[in-house]
Amino acid sequence: MKKNWKELDIALIVKKGGTAQDFKTGDWRSSKPLWDQEKCKQCLICWLFCPDSSIEVKDGKMTGIDYEHCKGCGICAKECPFKAISMEEEKK
Amino acid sequence: MSNIVAKTGNEAMAEAMRQINPDVVAAYPITPATEIVQIFSSFVSDGKVDTVFVPTESEHSAISACIGAAASGARVMTGTSSQGLALMHEILFIASGLRLPMVICEVNRALSAPINIHCDHSDTMASRDAGWIQIFSEDPQEAYDQTILAMKLSEDIFFPAMVTTDGFIISHAMSRLEMYSDKEVQDFLGEHKTPYNILDTEKPMTVGSIVLQDFYMEIRTQMAAEMFKAKAKIQDAYAEFNKKMNRNYNVIEKYFMDDAEYVIVALGSTAGSARYLCEKLRENNEKVGVVKPRVFRPFFAPELVEILENAKGVAVLDRSDMMSSTGGHLFNELKSAFYGNAKQPPMKNYIYGLGGRDINMSDIEKVLHDIKEFSVSKVKDSDVKYITVRE
Amino acid sequence: MKDFFEIRWHGRGGQGAKTVALLFADAALATGKYIQAFPEYGPERMGAPVQSFNRLADREITVHCSVENPDVVVILDQSLMSTVDTTEGLNDGGVLIINTVKKPSEIREAYKVRKEIKIFTVDASKISVDEIGSNKPNTPMFGALIKATSILDFDKMLLDTEEKLKKKFKSKPEVVAGNINSIKRAYQEVVAE
């Protein structure tokens, strides 16, 4: 249930940080990036360019793609110098 | 301990600002309000206040900077007039929508075109729906007192406030001013209150996010309800001010209203002139009185109805026109306040003094004669009259 | 009917007609009066005719209209009398005080001032040149005004003005002395008919 007008915080401020994470945008995607670990040299250029912080990195190494937030823009595939990311049509 | 000095309205407001000692003042100059921030900026350079003074490139930027500062937990003030207030217009709604306390020292001046630098209430009235508290002052003393009062009030109710004086008539007119000590002002204000602080790293937050059909209606309803509640708090604020600062102010001032038959309702400096006239007419046993609303927003409708409903005639003086064919702002509010009331005193609107046109004693006396005639006459063809104008 | 005293000052832009009204109000306040001082804002140009006003009373003044019927008119520059209607609204028994080298009778003759108006003259320009070193007739006119009207206690006013000038001109004591002397001289030298 959404809050009624008496229950809302003043000026409708959002009282915590990082709330964009709660907003799943992965289902906006019409094409999907696929990561080829063999070709990947861990340059992290994809991480640098991804506008949605959807390249998952752990201990300085790429570990995968966050499909809950990736909107499928394809920038990572375009920028990857080693063609380690390719785009395929989303089948849902 | 009070200190009696001679100050103009602008000087009085600048002194109030000095004693309030806001954290941030962002401003852009405009006649006739320029002096307020000009004098204040010299307080800044003389080290008399701790304020960060931000000279901006426009009023739009000035009020925007005020919002940023207020959202960051600062006590904030600015000053403006006329086109300046008009340029702030879109941002005024953001200040109130974000429920940020702040005070504008606003000097009432006509709006262009044609260009004019003198007093009328068009500028303030044009921002009446912006969700700000609007307070009118009759003279420099009231401007000084109400600026201090508004700062505290604004922080108590989390609505921004503008305190106005009449351009040149009060802003540039020197009169006797009784000042408080800096300590008395600081004690009255107390600890600065802020609804939230975006710089509080312990509590990260988002302010001003987009709100669509799902929540906008709710948050505006909440604001309206809070503005309704603010009326009682405004009355409390005046009572507290009177007690602590030894004044005798009311949200609506009544002069000779115990048995007044014909009443003038006016805002700002004109109410003072009308009061003097009534005092003189009372010497000839004429039952005339004056009602001076100090607070225009929120509008104290039932309270005004109660004060006015037994009058034989009510003359509403407006120094602004709505250009709607229905008269001025105060008149429209009052007329609507009386809808459905059992008692309906004859009421007529007198639009006067636009662009600084003087209203003198005989003009006000003529209004009283006219409202008497209007009240008894059977034919009431027009209830809006333009006075102080060449016919 | 009215229970306050009204003054209209006539000057030229740059002569200090606005300042003198403010200073006079401040001085009157110090003697215990309720005061108002306000200029007429219009063409703020050097040499253009300008006016300013005072109201003084022993009670609170709530009137905020312009001054239409002054009790006293003070003219800082005699030449204004040929271009501006300086006696406008001045009632019978009203007082006209002029900075001029002429005698009151000569002014009455030259400008056809009706006999019901009292005329006082003083050469405030010369006094200010002698005492301050420049043609600043506004402050000396204080002295002439008080002598002609007895509206304020002269000694109290002088003392207060001296205090204020001392604060304003800390590093220039000669300015203070010059102004005070010029007010005193105008008080002594102003002449009636």
Give residue limits of the domains in chain C. 5-192
Query: Is there a single domain that holds both residue B175 and residue B318?
Result: no
CATH of the domain at B352: 3.40.50.920
Query: Is there a single domain that holds both residue B351 and residue B325?
Result: yes
Distance from CA of residue B192 to its chain's centroid? 22
Q: Write down which residue in B245, B270, B300 finishes a domain.
A: B245
Q: Crossing angle, helix C138-149 and helix C154-168, to 10 degrees?
A: 160
The total number of residues shown for chain C amounts to 193
| Nearest-by-CA chain B residue for C62 | B272
Read off the pLDDT of residues B136-157 as tens digits, 9 standing for 90 and up: 999 999 999 999 999 999 999 9
Read off the pLDDT of residues B94-151 as tens digits, 9 standing for 90 and up: 999 999 999 999 999 999 999 999 999 999 999 999 999 999 999 999 999 999 999 9
The Cβ of residue C105 has, within 10 Å, a number of other Cβ atoms equal to: 12
> Of the candidates B92, B114, B110, which has an alpha carbon nearest to the alpha carbon of residue B102?
B92
ipTM of the complex: 0.93
Distance CA C23, CA C26 (A): 5
Residues 25-84 of C with CB under 8 A from B: 25-26, 29, 34-39, 41, 60-66, 68
Per CB-CB distance under 8 Å, the chain A contacts of B207 are 11, 13-14
Distance CA B300, CA A50 (A): 56
**Is B52 exposed, middle or buried, given 0-12, 13-18 or 19+ CB atoms closer than 10 A?**
middle
Distance CA C8, CA C11 (A): 10
Q: Does the beta-carbon distance from B175 to C62 stay under 8 Å?
A: no
Query: Is there a single domain that holds both residue B50 and residue B112?
Result: yes
CB contact at 8 A, C152 and C33: yes
Q: Write down which residue in B245, B280, B297 finishes a domain.
A: B245
Tell which CATH classification among 3.50.50.60, 3.30.2000.10, 3.40.920.10, 3.30.530.20 matches the domain C5-192: 3.40.920.10
Q: Does the beta-carbon distance from B205 to A12 stay under 8 Å?
A: no
Query: CA-CA-CA-CA torsion for B28, B12, B127, B100, nearest 10 degrees?
Result: 80
User: Count of B–C CB contacts within 8 Å?
Assistant: 67
Query: Is there a single domain that holds both residue B161 and residue B21?
Result: yes
Query: Is there a single domain that holds both residue B194 and residue B276?
Result: no
**Sign of the C-alpha dihedral, residues A13, A17, A22, A25?**
positive
Name the residue ranges covered by the structural domains of chain A.
39-92
Residues whose CB is less than 8 angstroms from the CB of residue B315 and which lie 6 or more positions away in sequence, other chains included: B262, B263, B264, B265, B347, B348, B350, B367, B368, B370, B371
Percent of residues, chain A, with pLDDT higher than 90 = 87
Q: Does the beta-carbon distance from C63 to B361 stay under 8 Å?
A: yes
Read off the pLDDT of residues B255-307 as tens digits, 9 standing for 90 and up: 999 999 999 999 999 999 999 999 999 999 999 999 999 999 999 999 999 99
What is the rounded end-to-end Cα distance, in angstroms, of chain C?
A: 29
Average pLDDT along chain B: 97
Per CB-CB distance under 8 Å, the chain B contacts of C9 are none
Query: Is there a single domain that holds both residue B143 and residue B31?
Result: yes
B325: helix, coil or strand? coil
Average pLDDT of the residues in C135-145: 91
User: Count of A–B CB contacts within 8 Å?
Assistant: 49
**Is C104 exposed, middle or buried, given 0-12, 13-18 or 19+ CB atoms closer than 10 A?**
buried
Query: What are chain C's partners, defined as 3 or more CB pairs within 8 angstroms?
Result: B
CATH of the domain at B68: 3.40.50.970
Nearest to B206 among A3, A10, A14 (CB): A14
Alpha carbon separation from A51 to A25, A54, B37, B91 (Å, rounded): 12, 8, 44, 31
Q: Does the beta-carbon distance from B280 to C37 stay under 8 Å?
A: no
Q: Which domain holds residue B52?
A: 3-245
Alpha carbon separation from A14 to A1, B12, B99, B156 (Å, rounded): 17, 40, 14, 22
Residue B391 lies in a domain: no
A39-92 belongs to CATH 3.30.70.20: yes
Measured in angstroms, the CA of B216 and the nearest CA of chain C are apart by 45
Query: What are chain B's partners, defined as 3 or more CB pairs within 8 angstroms?
Result: A, C
Read off the pLDDT of residues A32-67 as tens digits, 9 standing for 90 and up: 999 999 999 999 999 999 999 999 999 999 999 999
Q: Write down which residue in B205, B229, B245 finishes a domain.
A: B245
CB contact at 8 A, B35 and B58: no
CB contact at 8 A, B89 and B127: yes
Query: Is there a single domain that holds both residue B277 and residue B206?
Result: no
